Structure 1
C-alpha cells in the first residue's frame, strides 16, 4: 500500500511539472506573450471598431421601437477603443406619426475614460454636435412632441393591447410647428468636479427664420450654474403663434425678434437676463380674416433687466416706429378686440393658494413715431371710418409698484387736415382710480361724422369743420367731464330716418347758436359714476346735449337777449304790444326791436316770422270810433268850423254829432232821445244831462260804422309792416337783409290787458 501511494504521488508531481513546462515552453515564453498581446489587441480592436457599433446600433433601434413605439434611424456609429471616442452619423428619431422629431448629422464625443479612471472623475475633453435638428410641435391638449416623448420615456413600459400595440390617448390637431435646423454644439475640457467650469457653444437656426447662438460656461457641481452671451437674430415671431392662440384668435403674419445680452441661470437666481431687444416688421391680423389688428415697423428696447428670483422686469424706454392698430365695431356693437379674446372655460373655485409676491414691472416710458390708428363703426345707420396718422409722442415712466401716474403726450393727424392731441396723467395699473386726460381735436371735417349725427339729428351733415376740447377727470370712479365743442360753417343736409333721432328743430337751434363768423360754441358737462353698470358715457353726453338744445329752443329770446347785454329784456325782444285799432309802434317797443336787430346781426342764419295779429272785438270797436271821428272832422271842415280838439263827446261838436245821428238813425227823433236824458225836479225847469246825451249819441254813431273782416286783416298787416320796417332799419342799429324778416298770415288773437300783442317767431334762414 505504501509503494502504491508513493508511486501515485510521484505521478502527480511529474504531471504538474510537465504541464508547467509545457506552458512555459509553448505559452509563457516571451515570444508567445507577444503573440497573445497582439491577439488581445486585435480582439479589442475588432470589438471596439466593429462589434460595439453594431451592437449599440441594434440595441438602440430595438429599444426605441419596443419601449417607445418610434423608429430610430442611425447612419453609422464609429468607436475608437484606443482613443476612446464615439462618433455617430446621420441619426434621426421619428415620432409616432412618422414626423422626424430629432436628428443630427454628426455627434463626436471624446470620452477620455483613461483620464476619468486615473482622476476618479468624469472627463470629456471634447464633444461636438453638428447639423442637429429638432421638430417641435404643440397640441391643443397642452402637450408637445418632446414632452410627450419624455413622459413616455419615464413611464416605460408603455401600455399595450392584447396584440402588443401601444395604446395611445387621442390627441387634438397640432398647431404651428417649431423646427430648429443646423444646430451645432461644442464642449471642451469638461470635468465633473466641484467648481469646475466648462466652456461651451451652441448655435442653430429656426426653420421659419432666425438664428441663435450662445457662448458661455457651465458648472455642474455643487450646483448648476450657467452663464454666457445669448444672441438671437431675426427670429420669426410666427413661432410664438401657438402660445398666442391660447389667449387670442389672431395670426402672426410677420415680425422678427433680435436680442443680445447676458443670460445666467444658477443657484442664486433661477434665471436672469440683461441685454437689449428689437422687434421689426410686426404684423398681427385676425385668424379667420385678412384684417390687420396691430403692428409696427420697429420696436427697440436698449436695456432689459430680467430677474426671475427677484420677480423683477425692468425695461428702458420703449421706442416704437410706425405703429399701427385697427379698432372695429360690428353691426351687433361687438368689437374686433373683444372678439379676438379666447373664451376660457370656467374652472371650479380651488382652495386658496399661498399668495406669491407680485411681479414688479418697471418701464422707462414709451415713444411713438409715425403711428396710424384706423377706426371703423358699422353699428351705425351709415358706416363710419376714420384714420389718425402720423401719431407721435411719449408716455412717461411706468412702474407697477408706484402710485405716481404716467404722463401721456401724443399728437397725430386726423384724415387730411385734422389734428388730434392727447395729454394727461393716468395710472395704467388702476385706470379708474385717478386719471386726468385732455383730448383736443382741431379742424375735423364734420361730414365724416354723419353716421353718428343721423342717430341724433336724423339728418346728414353737408358741410362744416369742428374743434373739440374734451377734458376728463376720474376720481375713484367718479367722472367729471367737460366737453367744449366749436363748430364752423355747419350745414345740415338731407333727412335720414332713424328711430332714435330727436324731434327738436335742429335747424333753428343751429341758427340760434351760429354767430356772425359761422361759429357755434357749445359746452357740454357730463358727470357720473363709471362703476355704476347703468352709466354709459355715450347716452349721458347725448342727454346733456339734448337738454342744452331743449333749453335754447324753449327760450330762444333769452339767448338773443344775452347777445345784446345790458338791460335787454327777452319779452321786449319777443313781443310788440299795439293799442287796439292802431299799427303804431310805441317808443318803448322800438327799443326792443332795435335790440332784436342787433342780436340778429350776430346770428346771420336766423330769420324772423312776423304774424299779423288782430283782436276782432277790441280792434273793431276802435276802428269804428276812428271812422266816426273821421266823419265828424270831415263835416266840421265842410261847415268851415274850426275845432281845436274835435271829439265825439265834446260840447262844441254836439250839433255835428246830432246831424250824424239823424242820418244814421232817421227813424229816431232827436227830441225823443233828448227827453230820455231830460229830468225835471219839483219847482225847477227841465234839465238835459248833456254829457250823457252826447255819450249816447257818440256810442250810437260809432256802432253804426261799418268795419269788415278785410279792414281788420288790413290793420293786422299794417302792424306786421310797422314792426318789419323798424327791424329793417328804423333806428341807429345797422339794417339787416329784408328776406330775413318774413310776413305771416293774419292771425286772430285776444286782447291782453287792453293791447293786441304781436309775438315774433324765429326760423332758420
Structure 2
C-alpha cells in the first residue's frame, strides 16, 4: 500500500513536471508555430523575438515583432513590446474581457503608388476570409466585450507616396483609451498624441459611445509646418514652395454609424503662410490667417464661419491677353457652358465677421506691349453678416494706391443675385502718370503729370448699370506721341475742359446693359470716355463761350457782304470777345479763316459797281429800284431782251471784278488783323485766307470761320513776327 502511494506521488510529480515543462515551453512552441503558419494565418510572413505568458495574471507579452512585405525581405510593420492582460474566465460568459492592451514602439511603413497600397494584398486576404466565415455562419450572436487601459506608445508611421515622390513621417504617436464596454452607457475617452518631426504635436481627445455610436473628438494641432505637404499641393498646382505654420483646435461631433453627417467647429490659425510660383516669386501669402469655425456641416452643405481675419495678406496678380497667373498656377480652365454652376444650389454659407488688415496686392500686365506694374497697399476690408440668403450685404474697403493715392469703397450686393449691386467709390490723390502705359497705347498721349480725384455712385439693377461719376483732374499735362491705338485728341480735349484754375471737372453718366454678352463694364466706360473726348474736340466753342458769357453759335463764324472791307461795330464786339477769350484761356489758338465763293463775289461786285454808276446817273439806289435798274442796264447794253445777269457780265469785265475782289478781301483781312493787334498787341489770333480749292468756298458768302486749337511754340513765334510787320 505504501509502495502504491509512493508510486502515485511520483506519478503526480512527473505529471506536474510535464505540465510545468509544457506550460514553460508552450509560449515558445506557439511562437514558432505561429511564425511557421503566419502566411496562411495572417497573409504575410512574420517574425517574433520573444513570446511570454504569465499564467497567474493571464498576461501575454510579445517582444520584437515584425511583419514583412510580400517580398519577405522588407519590414512592413513592427513593434517592440505588446502586453495583453486577459480575463479568461469571462469567456465562459461569452464576454471578451481585456484588462490591459499596451503596444510600444509600433512602426508602420505604408507605400502608395498609382492609388495602390502595399497592404492591398492583406485587405484582399482578410476580406476573402471574412466572406468564407460569413457563408459558413448561420447566425451570429452579438459580441460582448470589456476593454480597459488601451494604450499605444511611441508609435511611428511612415507614408511613402511614390505617386508624388513624398514620404510623410508621424513620430511619437501615443493613444490611450481608459475603458470601452459593449453595454456601457457613458462615452469612453481616448487620448491620442504624437509629435511632428520639426516640432509641435497633434493631440486628440475622443469620447465615443460604443452602443449608439455617438462621439465627440477634440483635435489639437500645435506648430504644424506646412512645407512637408508641398508635394501634395504640387499635384494640383505649379508652385515652387508651400510654407506656413498651422495651429488649430477642432471639435467634431457625430455618429460612427453615419460619420459623413458629423458637425465641425473650432479655431484654425495659420502663421507666415507663403506660396511661390515656378520662378520662386511669391504670389500668395499672409502673416496670419485666423478663422473661427462655427458650424461646418458637409452633409447638408451648411457652412458657417464666425470670424475670418486676414493679417497682412499678399497676392501677386498678373494678366496676359488670354488668362492670368492664378489660373495657370492652379490649373484652372474655363468650364464649358453646359457645366456652369447651378445658381439654384442649396448650399448655405455665412461669415459673421470678415476683416482684412494691411493687405498688399501687386498687379502686373503686358497687354500693351510694355510692362505695367501697380502696387496696392494698406488694404483693409470689413463686413458683417455675409449670408448666402441675405437680402443685402455691405463690404467696406480702403487702400493706398501706389504709395500715394487713396481709395475708399462701399460694395453692396445680394449674395444670391450678382446682377443687383451698388458700388460707391472715392479715389483721391491718384497720380495719373502711373497709368501712362495705357494712356500712351490707347490715346497716343503720354501723361507727364496730374492728380486725379474720382467719385462714383454705381447701381446695377437686373444687369442694367447706372453710374454717376464725378472727375476732378488737377495740374494735368500731356504730350502727343502720335502712336495711340485710337489717336484721341486728348491733349486738346483736356485743354478745353480746364477751368480758370487749370482743373478739369467732369460729370460723366455711364449706362449699359450687362445682360448682353457682347457688353462689359470696361467697354462701356471706355466708349463713354472716348465719346466725351471726341465730342469735346468736335465743338470746342461749347466750352470756350462760357469764358465770355456768350452764345456758342455767335463764335462759330463772322459774316460779311461780298464787298465789305472792314468789320462792322457788331463784328468788332465779337472780335473783342475773342480777345477776351484768348486772355482767359492761356495757350488758346484762334484762327479766322476767310472763305468766299469767287464766282458769287465777282457777280456781287459787278452789281455793286454798276449800282454805283446807276446812282451817279440817277441818284437812285439800285437795291430799292430794281425795275428801273434793270431798264437802266438794258439801255446801256442797247438790248431790251437781254437778261440782267448777262448784261452785268458784259458790262463789267471779269478782270476788273477779280481785281476788285482781291482788293476787298485783302483789305478785310488786313483791317481785321490790324484791329486785333491794335486792341492787344500780344494777341496770337491770326487771320488767314483759305485756299480757293477748298470745298467750303463753294456757295459761301464772305465770312471768317473761327477755328480753335492749342498754341504750339511755332505758332507764338509766327504771331509775334506778324505783329512786328503790321506795326
Kindly tell me the number of residue pairs found equivalent between the two proteins. Answer: 648
2:489 is aligned to 505
- CA distance, structure 1, for counterparts of residue 434 and residue 73 of structure 2: 55
Q: Is the 8 A contact 1:321 1:370 kept in 2?
A: yes
- CA distance, structure 2, for counterparts of residue 289 and residue 524 of structure 1: 43
Counterpart pick for 2:423 among 424, 437, 445: 437
- CA distance, structure 1, for counterparts of residue 245 and residue 327 of structure 2: 26
Q: Give per-residue Cα distances to partners, 1:360-402, cap 9 Å, x unaligned.
A: 32211210101001111112222211011110120222222x1
- How has the CA–CA distance of structure 1 residues 242 and 700 changed in structure 2, closer, same or farther, with 3 Å as cutoff? closer
- How has the CA–CA distance of structure 1 residues 346 and 450 changed in structure 2, closer, same or farther, with 3 Å as cutoff? closer
Counterpart pick for 1:372 among 360, 383, 401: 360
Note the 1:135-214 alignment, pairs <5 A.
143=115, 145=117, 148=120, 151-155=123-127, 173-174=163-164, 176-195=166-185, 197-207=187-197, 210-214=200-204
Q: What is the SS of the residue equivalent to 1:738? A: coil
- CA distance, structure 2, for counterparts of residue 421 and residue 136 of structure 1: 54
Note the 1:651-730 alignment, pairs <5 A.
707=659, 711=663, 714-722=666-674, 724-725=676-677, 728=680
2:324 is aligned to 335
- How has the CA–CA distance of structure 1 residues 622 and 240 changed in structure 2, closer, same or farther, with 3 Å as cutoff? same
Of Structure 1 and Structure 2, which has the larger fraction of its residues in strand? 2
- CA distance, structure 1, for counterparts of residue 36 and residue 275 of structure 2: 48
- How has the CA–CA distance of structure 1 residues 717 and 313 changed in structure 2, closer, same or farther, with 3 Å as cutoff? same
2:557 is aligned to 575
- CA distance, structure 2, for counterparts of residue 744 and residue 134 of structure 1: 99
Note the 1:264-663 alignment, pairs <5 A.
264-266=253-255, 270=259, 271-286=262-277, 288-308=278-298, 311-330=301-320, 332-342=321-331, 358-400=346-388, 402-428=389-415, 430=416, 432-493=418-479, 495=481, 497=483, 501-562=485-546, 564-565=548-549, 568-596=550-578, 599-600=581-582, 603-611=585-593, 649=615
Q: Is the 8 A contact 1:116 1:123 kept in 2?
A: yes
1:691 is aligned to none
- CA distance, structure 2, for counterparts of residue 108 and residue 320 of structure 1: 48
2:242 is aligned to 253
Alpha-carbon shift at residue 519 of structure 1 (Å) = 2.4
- How has the CA–CA distance of structure 1 residues 626 and 123 changed in structure 2, closer, same or farther, with 3 Å as cutoff? same
Alpha-carbon shift at residue 557 of structure 1 (Å) = 1.5
Kindly name which structure, 1 or 2, has the bigger radius of gyration based on alpha carbons.
Answer: 1
Counterpart pick for 2:683 among 714, 717, 738: 738
- CA distance, structure 1, for counterparts of residue 238 and residue 357 of structure 2: 28
Whether 2:126 is the aligned partner of 1:126: answer: no
Structure 2 length normalisation: TM-score? 0.75
Q: Give per-residue Cα distances to partners, 1:200-241, cap 9 Å, x unaligned.
A: 211113447652001233332x23333343211122334655
Kindly indicate whether structure 1 or structure 2 has the higher relative contact order, using CA contacts under 8 Å at least 6 residues apart: 1
Superposed CA RMSD: 4.6
Q: Is the 8 A contact 2:597 2:698 kept in 1?
A: no
- CA distance, structure 2, for counterparts of residue 98 and residue 465 of structure 1: 78
- CA distance, structure 1, for counterparts of residue 71 and residue 576 of structure 2: 95
Whether 2:256 is the aligned partner of 1:237: answer: no
Q: What is the SS of the residue equivalent to 1:365? A: strand
Note the 1:66-77 alignment, pairs <5 A.
67=43
- CA distance, structure 2, for counterparts of residue 709 and residue 464 of structure 1: 51
Alpha-carbon shift at residue 546 of structure 1 (Å) = 2.1
Note the 1:212-227 alignment, pairs <5 A.
212-220=202-210, 222-227=211-216
Alpha-carbon shift at residue 648 of structure 1 (Å) = 9.8
Alpha-carbon shift at residue 555 of structure 1 (Å) = 1.9
Alpha-carbon shift at residue 105 of structure 1 (Å) = 4.9
Alpha-carbon shift at residue 93 of structure 1 (Å) = 5.7
- CA distance, structure 2, for counterparts of residue 345 and residue 702 of structure 1: 78
Alpha-carbon shift at residue 516 of structure 1 (Å) = 2.7
- How has the CA–CA distance of structure 1 residues 132 and 581 changed in structure 2, closer, same or farther, with 3 Å as cutoff? farther
Q: Give per-residue Cα distances to partners, 1:637-676, cap 9 Å, x unaligned.
A: xxxxxxxxx999568999xxxxxxxxxxxxxxxxxx9xx8
Q: What residue ranges of structure 1 are gaps of 5+ in the alignment?
A: 1-17, 158-170, 351-355, 630-645, 655-672, 680-695, 730-736
- CA distance, structure 1, for counterparts of residue 414 and residue 105 of structure 2: 50
Alpha-carbon shift at residue 307 of structure 1 (Å) = 4.1
1:6 is aligned to none
Q: Is the 8 A contact 1:584 1:719 kept in 2?
A: yes
Q: Give per-residue Cα distances to partners, 1:688-721, cap 9 Å, x unaligned.
A: xxxxxxxx9xx99999799588745642542541
- How has the CA–CA distance of structure 1 residues 154 and 182 changed in structure 2, closer, same or farther, with 3 Å as cutoff? same
Q: What is the SS of the residue equivalent to 1:403? A: coil
Q: What is the SS of the residue equivalent to 1:40? A: helix
Q: Is the 8 A contact 1:124 1:191 kept in 2?
A: no
Structure 1 length normalisation: TM-score? 0.72
Q: What residue ranges of structure 2 are gaps of 5+ in the alignment?
A: 130-160, 621-631, 639-647, 712-727
Q: Is the 8 A contact 2:379 2:400 kept in 1?
A: yes
Moved more, 179-188 or 36-45: 36-45
Q: Is the 8 A contact 2:406 2:428 kept in 1?
A: yes
